[in-house]
Amino acid sequence: MSELDGRPKKSNWTFITNHGAVLAEIARPGTVTARGIAQALGITERSVLRIISDLEAEGYVERRRGGRINSYTINVHLPLRGSRGREVAIQELLQLLLDGSSA
């Protein structure tokens, strides 16, 4: 609680990292841009580009250039990083994040 007003202190943590959130935005149907992802997530475009590069370097995302537009393919069969003891595929995470029907 805040000492000043008695209300609970707001925390800055989230369940999904920016890497997971960017991956989910890339997986959404339609054309996606780094600027659009940044606006949707409230982070900088530069951060989005760095995260996409990280995902690409690890094989989670494949980027193809078509003129001025990038298109992305997600390797949904790769396991999540850090899924200790249980192989959880990217596809399972994306289904949970994008379907919204599992609650």
pLDDT tens digit sequence for 20-51:
999 999 999 887 889 999 999 999 999 999 99
How many Cα atoms occupy the beta-carbon half-sphere of 60 within 13 Å? Answer: 21
The pTM score is 0.75
Residue count of the chain, please give it: 103
Angle 25-38-33 from CA coordinates, rounded to 5° = 65
Domain boundaries, the chain: 18-98
Q: Does domain 18-98 have CATH number 1.10.10.10?
A: yes
Res 15: pLDDT: 80
Q: How many Cα atoms are found within 13 Å in the side-chain-facing hemisphere of 40?
A: 15
Q: Which residues does residue 89 pair with via DSSP β-bridges, in sequence order?
A: 79
Q: Roughly how many angstroms between the first and final C-alpha of the chain, as a whole number?
A: 29
CB 75 within 8 A of CB 59: yes
